Amino acid sequence: MKHTGIKVFAPASVGNVIVGFDIMGLALNKPGDEIIARFSDKPGLRITKVTGAKGRIPSEVEKNTASVAALSFLDHIGEKGKGIEIEIHKKMPFASGLGSSAASAVAGVFAMNELFKRPLQKRELLPFAVKGEELASKALHADNVAPSLMGGIIFIRNNHELDIQRLPAPKGLYATVIHPKIEIKTSESRGVLNKHITLNNHVLQSGNLGGFIIGLFKSDFDLIGRSLNDILIEPQRAGLIPGFKDVKNAALEQGALGCSISGAGPSIFALSANSFIAENVGSAMQKVFHDLKIDSELFISTINPEGAFKY
């Protein structure tokens, strides 16, 4: 018997947002991942198709971030033995710093919730999505999963408690993201970080984080721009990305409010006060990589207010 299916989308995200390492993220409109899910006469969850992955993600249910998230949800609602087929369509780059594994995990659990007519509220899906993301990142943090699921700019007070708060996105705020076609593993990017920081740097970074949040609430782009300065993580990771300093300088010269590494990299993102600046910033960033003979993809997006959705 052929069963009709549903299709969902979960967007890419920018983790850290310069001043909020592991505790802040924002959702983009694109790229993202799609999942098609349908009931099946054969018991259990199965992955029947994977596209766009170039053989790089497992089709085994217990090893795939999307299906692990889905299974944890199904177990919670008592439907783990139900026959379900899913197709995973990867439409974003791997190891890009854009939350690829998080988008898959979100799409997996969101699809199950839609398939079963929404037994849980959207916010209640977060713990299951985090389980899928944890499989890939080997760390528990929701700075990509939460915005991909919920949309907007998300602040995470505590990752273990999944105490998340939505921050306002001022009208006109744009994200410009450039993905150089090189890869940096998250484990490598985390491996360069010093676990000890000075008290002075902690105070300075706390001020920048607070200033950024206040700037969002007040739609004060000047304050946002003054606050978007990472003195803790960026200096340690910048050397992993060829041309990073030149790309950042190019963005700032075109009027970006701030520019830094998206998540663990190698993608670099900038925030701007309007679409005109965002487009000029994108052209300038891309030119630097072109001159370095590094291919790149460019995405320009408002802050996605919705997150995951069903088509």
Q: Which residues are catalytic?
A: 133, 186
Token pair recorded at residue 53? 């992955």
Q: Name the residue among 23, 158, 182, 209 with its Cα closest to residue 97.
A: 182
- Cα distance between residue 262 and residue 268, in whole Å: 5
Angle ∠(212,142,196) on CA atoms, nearest 5: 70
CB distance 257 to 224 below 8 Å = yes
Using CB atoms within 10 Å of the CB of residue 29, give its burial: 0 to 12 exposed, 13 to 18 middle, 19+ buried. middle
Report DSSP letters for 207-276, one per residue.
HHHHHHHHHHHHT-HHHHHHH---SSSHHHHGGGSTTHHHHHHHHHHTT-SEEEE-TTSS-EEEEESSHH
According to DSSP, residue 61 is labeled G
Handedness of CA 212, 306, 57, 112 (dihedral sign): positive
Q: Are the CB atoms for 45 and 37 separated by under 8 Å?
A: no
Rg (CA), the chain: 19
Of 22, 35, 97, the residue nearest 308 (C-alpha): 35
Q: Which regions of the chain does DSSP assign to beta strands (E)?
A: 5-15, 24-39, 45-51, 84-91, 153-158, 163-167, 174-180, 258-261, 268-272, 296-302, 309-310
CA atoms within 13 A on the CB side of 275: 6
CA distances from 187 to 54, 62, 97, 153 (A): 21, 21, 12, 25
